Copies of this chain bind each other. A is one copy, B any other.
Amino acid sequence: MPIYLIGMMGSGKTTLGNKLSKILNMSFIDLDKEIEKIENTTINNLFSKKGEEYFRNLESKVLKNTEAKNAIVATGGGIILRKENRLFLKNHKTIFLYVPVEDLIKRINPDNRPLLKDGKDRLYKIWDMRKALYNEFKKIDLSNLNIQESLAKILYEIIDEKEEILENDFQEVIIKYKGLMDLKNKKYVFASKNVYRIYREFFNKPFLLKEGEEKKDYKNLEYIYQYLIENEISRKDEIYGVGGGSVTDLTGFIGSTFKRGLDFYFYPTTLLSQIDASIGGKTGINFSKIKNVIGTFSIPEKVIIDPITIISQDEKNYLSGIIEGFKIAIIDGNTSLFTENIEKIKNRNLNILEKIIKYAAITKLKIVSKDPYDNNIRRLLNLGHTFGHGFESITGITHGLSVGWGIKKEIELFEDKIKEKDKKIILNFLKKILPEEIFKKDIPTEKLKNYIIQDKKINNNSIIDFPIIKSIGNVELEKIKITDIIK
């Protein structure tokens, strides 16, 4: 079934449609491009040589030809002028991408737009003439949203609700498309500012947290306790954490300590938090620059994973999640899910993303259920983290990318232990996913040292259970003296 995107020129129909098609495994049709192909000329030329009437007739015909296609169809801005087109579009899935005219003007190059040959200000007139017609369709407001965020908002219109419980004995984890819609009637929601900005219509007065580890600190914790007291939260109330790992970690810590424990729920909105932070019952805050040094083991009532929210992530944070997933695959064995789908991963194909989320989440659940309090095999998940945490603290680079760097560093350090073939597979994937400047970055060991010795997993004889990659699917903990690593 085709999905039609309508909207003013410059509203992003082509860019977003093209990307959407890759996310959804559909083909992409740009009506203007189809017309140009048929007539073997540009739209500009067609307008000036044969006139608008000729163009509109052709446009209607081409539009109807897409009816049987499984495609995202980007239409021309004027398509809604004809009643027959509007009738056709109403009989199909059609979405109106709304962007305020002020913003459109900034984006558009008038040279390619025949209707703007007398100047951009004409856009206001065009909008005034057409807005009633556009508004007959389902409108998505893309004001102040970037491309990824816009895609997510469109997906929220296109995709059907769908829910699947991940089978495991450890904690309740549900993949739920459009899960954020649950939040409308919830009272005590802690949300990252960023998620609130994008998905505002799903919230009802949340307590807003700045995204990023720096807000998962002692001072912010104090504000939230104060907020809960002022709002007279009772032990029977429920709290919700919506955002990345820092939001869910903090919410979990509050949920496990306020009045000795409230029920708490996670809606992780980043890939990293969906497959890592929200799974396994670790909560925590940072203290004195040390990550998660204060925390509890406490399992949320439910974790609701909405894969659409991954589409709205910025690139670095998205890839950060991919690398944590890849880390899990190195431990468990199924790296081909990643290495054979690099293009799809880069295009955020939802089908492959759902597979990655399920695989990584279930694998992590399998590991943590064997060792909930992190005394032995759960430490395998620490792969790349001893160096990665240090790198993250020094450079401020996102967690997963830092872990990617850490995996590379640790492979180099224990080069003699890993199978040559697997080393190549891993480093090759990291090279394709990590930005080049990170992949190649070097940090003097002296600088890393101070952070490495604060690793929670080091015991009082300075021994750490260090995950060593022998081969893909065979990572083993070895007792390593931390001072030996530093040397």
The answer on a CB contact under 8 Å between A374 and B234 is no
- Given A290-B229, A294-B225, A296-B296, decide whether A373 and B459 contact each other with a Cβ distance below 8 A: no
| Among listed A125-133, A169-177, A255-263, A334-342, interface-contacting one | A255-263
Name the residue of chain B whose CB is nearest to the CB of A229: B288
- Given A225-B287, A229-B290, decide whether A460 and B234 contact each other with a Cβ distance below 8 A: yes
Q: Which of A445-460 contact B (CB under 8 A)?
A: 453-454, 456-460
Interface string of A66-79 (1 = CB under 8 A from B): 00000000000000
- A235 proximal to B (CB < 8 A): yes
Name the residue of chain B whose CB is nearest to the CB of A253: B257
- Pick 6 A–B contacts, CB within 8 A, sort by A: A232-B454, A260-B284, A260-B296, A260-B297, A260-B456, A261-B297
- A124 proximal to B (CB < 8 A): no
The CA-CA distance from A218 to B224 in the complex, in Å, is: 13
The answer on a CB contact under 8 Å between A282 and B260 is yes
A455 to chain B, nearest CB (A): 10
Number of copies: 2
Contact residues in B for A297 (Cβ distance below 8 Å): 260-261
The total of chain A residues at the interface (CB under 8 A) is 37
Interface string of A149-183 (1 = CB under 8 A from B): 00000000000000000000000000000000000
Name the residue of chain B whose CB is nearest to the CB of A459: B236
A122 to chain B, nearest CB (A): 57
The CA-CA distance from A261 to B226 in the complex, in Å, is: 24
- A39 proximal to B (CB < 8 A): no
10 A-B pairs with the lowest CB-CB distances in the bound complex, closest first:
A234-B460, A260-B295, A236-B459, A259-B456, A234-B459, A257-B294, A229-B288, A236-B460, A225-B287, A260-B297
Name the residue of chain B whose CB is nearest to the CB of A281: B260
Contact residues in B for A256 (Cβ distance below 8 Å): 296
Among B235, B282, B295, B459, contact of A459 (Cβ-Cβ < 8 Å): B235
- A52 proximal to B (CB < 8 A): no
